[in-house]
Amino acid sequence: MSKKNCPICNAVVTGRTDKIFCSIKCKSIDQYEQRQQKEAFYFKVDRQLRTNRKILRKHNKAGFTTLRASTLASEGFNPKFFTHYWKNKKGEVYLFVYEYGFLKKRIHAKDKYVLVTWQDYMSTP
């Protein structure tokens, strides 16, 4: 029978064959560390969503604006982080960060974003 070591403190694990940790304390430490890693991911996503929303709100005061993609990127905007989307009748998909939306387009060989604000008619199927 081979001896197993605790992944936290490296002590020999005794008892049942499927036992992983040497004590309840080590098991608790492992669970705490896993929870911290998961929470760090959620905090990162939430931070980027808040940043994206702040940038979109800053540049979209009129409710409909076209802006160069490089302008938004230079301020920390990341288009991979969004909360939901809306598809218009033309088949274009607007990505939204809460109430502020954006659509990436190529206009005159330059990447641009069309910025919009959520409207009531967008929620009807």
What is the Cα–Cα distance from 44 to 28, expressed in whole angstroms?
24
Residue 3: the pLDDT is 84
Please give the pLDDT value at position 94. Answer: 95
DSSP 74-114: HTT--TT--SEEEE-TTS-EEEEETTEEEEEEEETTEEEEE
At 40 the pLDDT is: 83
What does each of the 125 residues of the chain score in pLDDT, given as a tens digit? 578 999 999 999 998 889 999 999 999 999 999 888 888 888 999 999 999 999 999 999 888 999 999 999 999 999 999 999 999 999 999 999 999 999 999 999 999 999 999 998 888 65
At 22, phi and psi to the nearest 5? -80, -25
In this prediction, residue 77 carries a pLDDT of 95
The domain of 44 spans 4-123
Q: Which pLDDT score, from 0 to 100, does residue 124 have? A: 62
Q: State if pTM tops 0.75.
A: no
Total structural domains within the chain: 1
Distance CA 13, CA 87 (A): 56
